[in-house]
């Protein structure tokens, strides 16, 4: 069974995260550079659309105050502030508060900005006013306008740079508590007051930079950021997808090789390092497949060549046993046991080699499972072993009968040899889902060390190399089980049971 480690953080996500981090760093560098070169402060936040919104709000406030008596200004500012989720205060440019909550403490830094450039530029000189022999100039802020020959003399309308120029707005951030103050230069036409109104500043205070959507609107910036991110992700997607797909394929091939499948191949059509790596993996798997098949073929050839001399030795021992006296018979019996052990080893080598080298010739067919298990129990069990079965009638699987019989016989033989005295051996089979049958052979013995489970199906592996061969075997039993089961298109695994015991699980396709 292939052990696929779950990827906690996919490569594409890492690349996307680094891309976002790259954009953030570049944006910060750009902002610091531009701020240093252009000496930008917070004022850039209230430029553009934000400045237009603030200017529109100031015009609404100016219009509302111009249409109401001075006694209602506080009420109007409070009502408008609640609507915009900010606080409005109205100040003269000399620092005198005209309207708004008087309990609100305005920081000195804000008042300094209010009084900065508080003198409005004077309107152009009027012809005939203030010259020698002419009437004196009326005060700018107070008194009725001068009368002319055809009525009051109107001053020409000149745009006020303090109201429409680049310095018509400012923003100040104060701490303890954190507050954002925006000032807007404006004039309010006071009803019943002759002459022009004094220049004023509308202060807008908010505890957040967003200012109820007036100061700084994060939505467009977030939209632009997401747009840049999406476009970048789409632009990088083909490249990253090609890389990650190749890496996934290489990872899958490596897992297959680790599981013993050397027939896997990787697409090596790329003209970069990944293509070169794929080609190297293909050459490696080809050589490994050659080495392993050569080793198995070599073992099979040796076992085949040993069959004839072993058979001759056994025949000779039979003849010698008939002619030996009672004193010689014990020696002959010792030799017979050694030759019998050698014959068993050769037979296991032949079985292992045959199952490994002929998977393509194996034809799977529907097989009734219960009769095969009954045959295995009859052959490997005895009257002293308690073997229990839990198998449904007419349960069919796709397998090759001889290979399945050999695999189950080897597993049951191990259970009888090592754990028959510890308790019953239970053989069960059940259907899992619609297309799989699970066969379990479980004993009640002491189990095996957890560190050895991953190697139990390796050829010639023995848990305790110092064990006597009468009890330890040669380490091919479970290797043959794995080869036979995989030749039938199935999977085999094992695990320790709780509190004690050992279990081998065989999964095969249902017929």
Backbone φ and ψ of 96, nearest 5°: -85, 130
Question: 3-class SS at 183?
Answer: strand
Q: What is the pLDDT of residue 396?
A: 93
Token readout for 380 is 């490997």
What is the side-by-side order of every strand in the sheet holding 97-99?
Answer: 97-99, 87-92, 200-206, 179-186, 169-174
Task: Write the DSSP string, 382-403.
Answer: -TTS-EEEEE-TT-EEEE-HHH
Q: What is the pLDDT of residue 157?
A: 42
For the chain, 511 residues long, the average pLDDT of each consecutive 10-residue run is 60 80 84 60 67 84 87 89 88 87 87 70 47 48 43 45 59 85 82 70 84 71 82 84 88 86 84 88 90 80 84 88 84 87 80 67 87 91 87 89 90 89 92 90 91 86 62 74 89 92 94 85
Cis upstream peptide for 381 (omega within 30°): no
CA distance 214 to 413: 84
Task: Name the packing angle between helices 273-323 and 326-357 (round to 10°).
Answer: 150
Residue 124 near residue 158 (C-beta atoms within 8 A): yes
Question: 3-class SS at 372?
Answer: helix
Q: What is the pLDDT of residue 125?
A: 47
CA atoms within 13 A on the CB side of 314: 14
Q: What is the pLDDT of residue 69?
A: 87
Q: What is the pLDDT of residue 118?
A: 55
* E strands in 175-289: 179-186, 200-206
Q: Is the Cα torsion angle 374, 375, 376, 381 positive or negative in sign?
A: positive
Residue 145 near residue 210 (C-beta atoms within 8 A): no
CA distance 104 to 332: 116
CA distance 429 to 439: 4
Token readout for 159 is 């745009």
Q: Which domains does the chain have, with CATH numbers?
A: 273-357 (1.10.287.130), 365-509 (3.30.565.10)
Q: What is the pLDDT of residue 382?
A: 81
Backbone φ and ψ of 299, nearest 5°: -60, -40
CA distance 108 to 226: 40
Residue 201 near residue 168 (C-beta atoms within 8 A): no
CA-based nearest residue to 349, from 302, 413, 402: 302
Backbone φ and ψ of 102, nearest 5°: -75, -15
Distance of CA 443 to the CA centre of its chain: 41
How distant, in Å, are the alpha carbons of 71, 428, 456, 458 from that of 447? Answer: 95, 19, 12, 18
Task: Write the DSSP string, 125-175.
Answer: PPTTSSSTTSPPPPPSSSSPPPEETTEEPPPP----HHHHSTTSEEEEEET
Whole-angstrom distance between the N-terminal and C-terminal Cα of the chain? 21
Q: Supply angle C-alpha 206, 209, 215, rounded to 5.
A: 80
CA distance 159 to 164: 7
CA distance 466 to 301: 28
Token readout for 27 is 């944006």
CA distance 355 to 341: 21
């Amino acid at each position: 069974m292939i052990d696929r480690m779950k990827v906690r953080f996919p490569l594409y996500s890492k690349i996307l995260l680094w891309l976002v981090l790259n954009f953030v760093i570049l944006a910060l560098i750009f902002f610091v550079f531009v701020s240093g070169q252009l000496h930008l402060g917070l004022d850039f936040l209230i430029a553009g659309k934000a400045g237009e919104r603030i200017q529109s709000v100031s015009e609404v406030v100016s219009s509302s105050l111009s249409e109401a008596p001075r006694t209602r200004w506080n009420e109007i500012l409070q009502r408008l502030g609640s609507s915009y989720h900010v606080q409005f205060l109205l100040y003269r440019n000399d620092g005198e508060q005209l309207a708004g909550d008087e309990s609100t403490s305005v920081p000195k830094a804000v008042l300094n900005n209010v009084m900065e450039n508080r003198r409005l530029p004077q309107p152009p000189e009027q012809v005939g006013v203030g010259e020698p022999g002419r009437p004196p100039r009326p005060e700018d802020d107070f008194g009725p306008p001068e009368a002319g020959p055809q009525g009051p003399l109107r001053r020409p309308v000149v745009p006020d740079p303090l109201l429409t120029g680049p310095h018509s707005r400012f923003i100040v951030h104060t701490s303890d508590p954190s507050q954002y103050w925006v000032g807007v230069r404006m004039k309010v036409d006071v009803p019943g007051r002759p002459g022009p109104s004094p220049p004023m500043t509308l202060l807008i205070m908010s505890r957040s930079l967003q200012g109820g959507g007036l100061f700084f609107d994060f939505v467009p910036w977030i939209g632009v950021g997401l747009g840049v991110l999406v476009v970048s992700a789409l632009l990088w997607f083909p490249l990253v997808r090609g890389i990650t797909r190749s890496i996934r394929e290489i990872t899958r091939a490596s897992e297959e090789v680790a599981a013993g499948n050397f027939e896997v191949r990787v697409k090596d059509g790329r003209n970069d390092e990944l293509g070169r790596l794929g080609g190297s993996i293909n050459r490696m798997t080809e050589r490994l497949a050659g080495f392993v098949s050569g080793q198995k073929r070599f073992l099979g050839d040796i076992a085949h060549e040993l069959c004839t001399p072993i058979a001759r030795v056994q025949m000779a021992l039979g003849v010698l046993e008939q002619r030996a006296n009672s004193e010689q018979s014990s020696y002959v019996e010792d030799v017979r046991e050694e030759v019998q052990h050698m014959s068993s080893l050769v037979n296991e080598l032949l079985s292992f080699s045959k199952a490994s080298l002929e998977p393509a010739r194996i034809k799977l067919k529907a097989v009734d499972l219960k009769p095969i298990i009954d045959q295995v129990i009859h052959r490997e069990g005895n009257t002293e072993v308690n073997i229990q079965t839990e198998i449904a009638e007419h349960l069919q699987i796709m397998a090759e009968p001889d290979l399945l019989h050999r695999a189950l016989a080897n597993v049951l033989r191990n259970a009888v040899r090592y754990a028959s005295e510890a308790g019953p051996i239970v053989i069960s089979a059940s259907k899992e889902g619609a297309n799989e049958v699970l066969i379990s052979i479980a004993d009640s013995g002491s189990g095996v060390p957890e560190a050895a489970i991953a190697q139990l199906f390796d050829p010639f592996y023995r848990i305790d190399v110092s064990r006597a061969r009468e009890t330890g075997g040669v380490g091919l039993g479970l290797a043959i089980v794995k080869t036979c089961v995989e030749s039938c298109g199935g999977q085999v695994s094992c695990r320790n049971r709780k509190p004690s015991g050992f279990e081998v699980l065989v999964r095969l396709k249902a017929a």
